[in-house]
A and B are shown apart, each in its own frame.
Chain A
């Protein structure tokens, strides 16, 4: 099993550009999450999903959109990137009542 994978691993964007981060899991987990982590900080929840076709806002949802069209995939979109969105983005998934399995992260720089 690959676990949780994230694509891409690194990306540099110019202000105003858009992009989509892809998260995939092969563990048949119901719940999926997107977090961002700024240097020296903890993780902040952006959006999450409790099942295929559902999404919900977390702590810092502004400037991001998500979709969960398939159970195994959770996409995070940046419509118009801003320097404040420079961060490391982590995807995670879990089964009901279980711990989170994390992906390796995507390092995004917005110039």
Chain B
């Protein structure tokens, strides 16, 4: 299976600190995507990084991709209590259009 696996499973930090989550996957990909899910709600797409990109920024989000290690990381800088949510990575695998998710990282940001 090519789904991403997030690490750690849970992360608790203080407001203002940075949060880093990691994702590993198994097959060649077209792109890798990160999503956020607030409790009981649908997932929201955060950022997409293509296989030929190494780093991408969007506001307080920074995503890196290392295709040689089949891994990605999501960094949230200057975290806020509103960033409390579950974060998932998903892979758009090469030659395969299914999109699979890992189990996610549960981030808690304490005010």
Determine if chain A interacts with chain B. Answer: yes
Binding site for B on A (CB under 8 A): 31, 33, 35, 41-45, 48, 50, 56, 58-59, 90, 92, 94, 97-105
In the complex, chain A residues whose CB is within 8 Å of the CB of B42: 90, 102-105
Tell me if A100 and B90 are in contact (CB < 8 A). Answer: yes
With CB as the reference atom, state the residue of chain A lying closest to B42.
A102
Interface centre among B1, B31, B101 (most CB of A within 10 A): B101
Can you list 7 residue pairs at the A/B interface with Cβ under 8 Å? A31-B97, A59-B100, A92-B99, A97-B31, A99-B45, A102-B43, A104-B41
* Chain A-chain B contacts (Cβ-Cβ < 8 Å), number: 57
Pair B35/A100 contact, Cβ less than 8 Å: yes
Question: In the complex, are the beta carbons of A48 and B98 less than 8 A apart?
Answer: yes
Q: Mark B29-49, 1 if CB is under 8 A from A, else 0.
A: 011010100000111110010
Take A43-B88, A90-B43, A104-B42 as given contacts and tell me if A98 and B48 are in contact as well, using a CB distance cutoff of 8 Å.
yes
Provide the bound-state CA to CA distance between A22 and B48, in Å: 27
A103 partner residues in chain B, CB cutoff 8 A: 42
| Cα separation A99 to B35 with both chains bound (whole Å) | 9
Task: Give the chain B neighbours of A97 by CB distance below 8 A.
Answer: 30-31, 92
CB-CB under 8 A for A100 and B99, given A42-B104, A59-B1: yes
A41 to B42, CA, bound (A): 13
Question: Across the interface, do B98 and A58 meet the contact criterion of CB distance under 8 Å?
Answer: yes
B78 within 8 A of A: no
Instruction: Pick from B42, B97, B104 the residue with the most CB of A within 10 Å.
Output: B42
- Bound state CA distance, A103 and B42, in angstroms? 6
For the complex, what is the distance from the CA of A90 to the CA of B62, rounded to whole Å? 27
Q: Answer whether residue B103 sits at the interface, using C-beta atoms and an 8 A cutoff.
A: yes
Cα distance A73–B101 when bound, in Å?
23
- Which listed residue (B3, B48, B98) contacts A99, Cβ 8 A? B48
Task: Name 16 extra pairs, CB < 8 A, besides A90-B43, A99-B35, A102-B42.
Answer: A42-B88, A42-B102, A42-B104, A43-B43, A43-B101, A44-B101, A45-B100, A48-B98, A50-B97, A56-B97, A56-B98, A58-B98, A59-B1, A97-B92, A98-B48, A100-B90
